[in-house]
Structures are given as C-alpha cells and as structure tokens.
Amino acid sequence: MDRDDAELMFQGVERQAELVRTGKVTSRALVEAALRRIERLDPALGAFRVVLAEQARAEADARDADAEPARGPLHGVPVAVKDEFDVAGQVTTFGGAANRTPAAADSEAVRRLRAAGAVVIGKTTMPEFGQWPFTESDTHGTAHNPWDTTRTPGGSSGGSAAAVAAGLVGAALGGDGGGSIRIPAACCGLFGLKPQRGRVSTAPNAHLWYALGTVGPLTRTVRDTALLYDVLAGTTPADRWSARPAATGWLRALETPPGRLRIGYCAKSAVPGVRPHPEHVGALLETVRALRELGHDVREVNPRYPDATVPFAAQFCGGVRAEAAAVERPDLLEPRTRSTLALARLVPESAVERGIRAGERLAERADRMFTSMDLLLTPVVAARPRPVGALDGAGLLTALARSRPMVAYTALWNVTGHPAASVPAGLGTDGLPLAVQLVGRRDDEVSVLRVAAQLEEARPWAGRRPPSAAS
C-alpha cells in the first residue's frame, strides 16, 4: 500500500485529475492515499499545521458524486494551503498563536481551487506572518526538508514545499513577499513561480505586504504550475493591484515553443557583500550550457541592480504591522515579532506609501535591463539550506542577518513586481537540491514558463524523490 500511495501522490495534479476524470481512481482514494502518507511521514517533516481528514473525506465523496458537467480541471485532487490564507471553518494562524476564531469563508484563491474541483486536505506551517525564509514557529514547531530532515525547507512557504516534495500532496498554495515561494522551491527541488504582482487575488485582503506579496502554488512540474495558474489567475474589486490579463491560457501557452530568446546570466547578488555558494554558481553555469544547447542566445551580463532596501523594509514593516493589527490576541505574538512591530511603529503609513512609489521607480529601472535581454538567469539563494533551528534564540537583528543570504537574489523582484521562478538544477554534493532563478519582463510569466519547461524536458527533475519519502 505504501508504494501504491507513493505512486499516486507523486503523479502530480494534472495526472491525478486525469485519473479521476477517466475513472481509474476516485477522489476518495486519492485523499486516503494522501492521509496515509501524511500520517506516516509528517511527524518527521512538520509540514502540516492541521490536517482536515474528515472534511477532506466528505469533500472527496461529494466530488465523486458530482456529475460530469460539474467537474473542473482539478476535480477530486487533494491540495494543501499555507496558513496565511483563509479556509472556511479553520483558524488562519499566520504561523502563530494570536488568532482563535475560525474564518467564516475561504479566501478568493482557496475558493478558486475548490471551484476547480480541488479538495483542501490541510493547512501548512509557516513562520509567524511569513517574516523569515525558515519555517520555524514557537507555536507550531519547525518544518524539515524531506531531502535531509536536519535541514530547513526554506520559508516562508516551507510547510507547503515540504508537503509537495515528500509526495504528501501534488500541489500546495504558498505566498511570496520576498522569496517565500522561490526559496522553499529551491531548497526542496520543486518548481515555484512568483507571478507578476496582481496576477492572483489576495482577497479578502486588499494586499499581501502591500506591493511585495503574491499568491501562487508550489508543484513538482512546470505543467502543474501552469494548470494551477489557469485556475488561480484573476483579481477582484477588493484587490489593490491587478496584472495585465494574459493573452492565452497558461497551459495552452506551453504548447508554443519560446523561440530563440536572449538570456542574460549573472552570479552577482543584488545585495552587496553576499556571495553565492560555489555549487550554486556551478548550477548556474550548467544551466547556461543547457540553454545554449536549446538554441538560446545566452550571455553573461553585469546588471546595475537598484538598491531595494528602503522600499522593501518600509513595506515589510507595514505589512507585518497590518497583519498583527488584525489578530485577536496580540499579547501572544512571538517576542521576535514584537521587536518587528517596535521597529514598524517608527515607519508611518506615509513612509510605506513612499516605499511603494519608490518600488515602482525601481521597476522602471529594472525594465531597462530587459531592453537587451528577454530573461535574466541567476541563483535563487546564496547559501545551502542551513540546519533547522536558524531562529532558535535569535532576536530580530540575528534573524535578519541569517535571512540575508536566503533573500539576496529574490527580494528585489518583489519590490519591482516582476515574475520570477525557481527552476530545479540537480542535486548538490550534500544531497540537497540545487536551483536557478529565471526572471522575466513585467507581465511575462509565459516566457519564464516556456523556458523552464524546456529545461525540464532537457533534464527531467520530476522523477527525483527524497529517499525518505520515495515509498
């Protein structure tokens, strides 16, 4: 049964939906396989904050009873949701203990997943308010990397990444305010695309850390990510930002090759003084070779990265302050979060708005990089995944210092809003995944996806499974 469960859960969401659609498996069988794997593997991973076993079984049974016309593209497929998004009937903890009342309704992204037929099987762990690239919570514990459980899966969507990498679910919803989809994707060997700002609704909230945050999935394959964005893309009147609508469906876009693109590559970090691990540089150069073999014009570049520190810090402080203001028991916030809030009180709302406008100016400067190239290729993170416990006993300044190598390549693109993806690039000598980042022009997720799909075909990564979760 364990091996059969693994075969089912490592299929990915597109294949799982096809199995349900063709009657080869039921939604209830998929959910039961996921629940057995969660029960067996999650005690060592800490990926789930709560598992909705009975609700998921009931929802799967309802999916199996649905008539064919009512079936959507994710019909019957179990998915997980990061604990910063509302799931009806469940507390949205934001990774802490300060909320107590269950949400009355699903967030818009979760509503769209269910409308497409997905079954929500549980909520995944995160650091409080998603502040850190390590998934460690005083209340809900520490998430572990399925490739080596002594190491971090990254963050802040680390629980979602660990759940997908270990084959507990085929896809999980995450959020990215400074790298929080791309960093755990890189640490866990997944594909993770931060979409263009405003691509996916943050409703019922007007924003996620103001202009920094985006919503999106973590998956094992590019096609699964495209399928999920076909479901998730679109905003509501409640959203402060809205991206330019895509010209075609995301899966359909993958049917057309990208043609010969101009791709610049650079190992230099956007944060002065942060140097990449040699194996990350090696993965970058190996990807350069692969892209050239695919026919692209790939050249080393030396971009003049704009300094995003001030606009990022202003929105980070404002975003954490806004989320903390909405919790029921602020006295139960973690000490480190209270330190963030003490700093945030020095940043008035007017400074946050100035940070947003400064970010837009930086986006215009970044756009000029893309006049001579179609995509930019960089590392995702500077450091290898560190041992768990990065936040143990760490105050605010120590936590910030330990986070710096993890966000040095990612946070700029949250400030500017450009789409960027973590693309698997093999395994390091430590047995942990390697990855590279592809950054696209504004509103051009399609080019990122098409080139990532080419790389996936040239060096298949979806078949790789963490040894501890392979069966």
Residue 146's nearest CA partner among 160, 130, 127 is: 160
CA distance 452 to 182: 14
Asked if the peptide bond before residue 204 counts as cis, ω within 30 degrees of 0, the response is yes
- Beta strand spans in 178-261 (E): 191-194, 214-219
Q: Which amino acid is at 292?
A: R
Q: Is-contact 45 143, C-beta < 8 A?
A: yes
DSSP code string of 20-43: HHTTSS-HHHHHHHHHHHHHHHHH
CB neighbour list of residue 340: distance below 8 Å, 6 or more residues apart: 131, 317, 320, 396
Sort 126 into a burial class: Cβ within 10 Å, 0-12 / 13-18 / 19+: buried
Residue 7's nearest CA partner among 471, 346, 352 is: 471
Measuring CA to CA, how many Å separate 283 from each of 288, 293, 309, 413, 441? Answer: 9, 15, 27, 21, 23
Q: What angle do CA 323, 329, 330 make, to 5 degrees?
A: 55
DSSP 8-state class, residue 128: G
CA distance 12 to 47: 18
Which tokens belong to 261? 């693109």
Q: What are phi and psi of 227, to 5 degrees?
A: -60, -45
Which tokens belong to 123? 């909520």
Measuring CA to CA, how many Å separate 83 from each of 88, 107, 263, 375? Answer: 12, 11, 36, 32
Measuring CA to CA, how many Å separate 301 from each of 1, 172, 260, 305, 411? Answer: 51, 34, 18, 11, 20
Which tokens belong to 219? 């998956």
- Which active-site residues does the annotation give? 82, 156, 180
